[in-house]
């Protein structure tokens, strides 16, 4: 069954792609924790509320802005949203602003959000299958 025509599922897929790409950025920060002059990077989270439009109608969603996610926008569809993070609590003597403890917290938060979204996505698919009479059990 193809759920790609349902905007809610498209948004959840976009959120999953965002969290996967964000995990790569966070891993790169940890990997470069001892690199002189390296600046921690962060991904700008997509604004899912604006994707739904001011009226809350999912039917109004379309690619009308360069900020909208499209297939083939780079790794995970999100490469244009990566920026240097300046608001860390400390700067190392080598000019690096990666704080491992902060990165570990961000990785855990990102993973929890990914798992939560994935769980909602799976449950929603199960409910749709039940509603149309095609349970996953048989």
pTM over 0.75: no
Q: What is the pLDDT of residues 38-54, one digit of tens each?
A: 889 989 887 777 766 64
Distance CA 47, CA 77 (A): 15
Rg (CA), the chain: 18
Distance CA 56, CA 59 (A): 9
Q: What is the pLDDT of residues 66-115, one digit of tens each?
A: 655 554 444 445 556 788 776 666 667 787 888 888 899 999 999 999 99
Find, among 95, 89, 1, the residue nearest to 39 by Cα: 95
Structure tokens at 119: 């769980």
Q: Could you give phi then psi for residue 76, rounded to 5 degrees?
A: 75, 5
Q: How far is CA 137 from CA 121, 124, 130, in A?
A: 18, 16, 10
């Amino acid at each position: 069954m193809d759920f790609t025509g349902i905007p809610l599922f498209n948004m959840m897929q976009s959120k999953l792609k965002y969290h996967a790409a964000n995990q790569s950025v966070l891993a790169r920060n940890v990997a470069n924790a001892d690199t002189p002059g390296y600046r921690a990077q962060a991904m700008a989270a997509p604004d899912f509320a604006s994707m739904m439009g001011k009226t809350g109608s999912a039917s109004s969603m379309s690619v009308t802005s360069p900020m909208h996610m499209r297939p083939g926008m780079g790794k995970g569809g999100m490469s244009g949203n990566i920026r240097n993070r300046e608001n860390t609590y400390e700067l190392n003597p080598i000019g690096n602003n990666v704080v491992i403890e902060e990165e570990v917290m961000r990785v855990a938060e990102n993973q929890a959000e990914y798992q939560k979204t994935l769980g909602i996505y799976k449950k929603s698919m199960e409910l749709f299958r039940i509603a149309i009479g095609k349970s996953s059990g048989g």
